Copies of this chain bind each other. A is one copy, B any other.
Amino acid sequence: MPVLSPVLDHIDKHLDDSLERLFSLLRIQSISTDPAYAVECRKAAEWLVNDLATIGFEASVRQTPGHPMVVAHHPGPRPDSPHVLFYGHYDVQPVDPVELWETAPFLPEVKEIEPGRKVITGRGSSDDKGQLMLFVEACRAWKAEHGQLPCRVSILFEGEEESGSPSLKPFLEANKEELTADFALVCDTDMFDPETPSICASLRGLVGEEITIKAANRDLHSGMYGGPAANPIRVLAAILADVHDENGRVTIPGFYDGVEETPSQVLKSWETLGTTAENFLGPIGLSEPAGEEGRSVLEMVWARPTAEFNGISGGYTGKGFKTVIAAEAQAKVSFRLVHKQDPAKIREAFRKFVRERLPKDCTVEFHPHGGSPAIQLSYDSPFLAKAKAALSDEWPKPAVMVGSGGSIPIVGDFRTYLGMESLLVGFALSDDRIHSPNEKYDLNSFHRGQRSWARILDALSR
Contact = CB atoms under 8 A, between A and B. Distances in A.
Interface of A: 33-35, 93-94, 96, 100, 162-164, 190, 204, 206, 208, 210, 215-231, 233-234, 236-238, 240-244, 277, 280-281, 284-292, 297, 300-301, 304, 306, 308-326, 329-332, 334, 336, 359-361, 369-370, 404-407, 430, 433-438
A224 B406 contact: yes
A311 B301 contact: no
A369 B320 contact: yes
Contact of A309 (B100, B237, B311, B321): B237
B229 A310 contact: no
A286 B317 contact: no
Given A319-B35, A332-B315, A281 B228 contact: yes
Best-surrounded residue of A210, A314, A317 (most CB of chain B within 10 A) = A317
A436 B206 contact: no
A210 B315 contact: no
Contacts of A33: 318-322
Given A285-B216, A315-B309, A318-B96, A228 B34 contact: no
A436 B163 CA distance: 33
Contact of A321 (B208, B224, B313, B437): B208
Given A219-B437, A225-B301, A210 B321 contact: yes
Given A223-B336, A322-B93, A332-B321, A312 B228 contact: no
Given A237-B237, A301-B225, A287 B361 contact: yes
Copy count, this protein chain: 2
Contacts of A284: 216-218, 220, 225, 229
Contacts of A94: 316, 318, 322
Contacts of A309: 231, 233-234, 237, 314-315
Given A219-B436, A234-B244, A436-B218, A224 B301 contact: yes
A361 B284 CA distance: 11
Nearest to A33: B320
Given A222-B310, A321-B369, 5 more contacts: A220-B284, A229-B290, A310-B322, A311-B317, A313-B313
Q: Which of A94, A315, A323, A407 has the most CB of B within 10 A?
A: A323
Nearest to A315: B311
B311 A322 contact: yes
A313 B317 contact: yes
A361 B310 contact: no
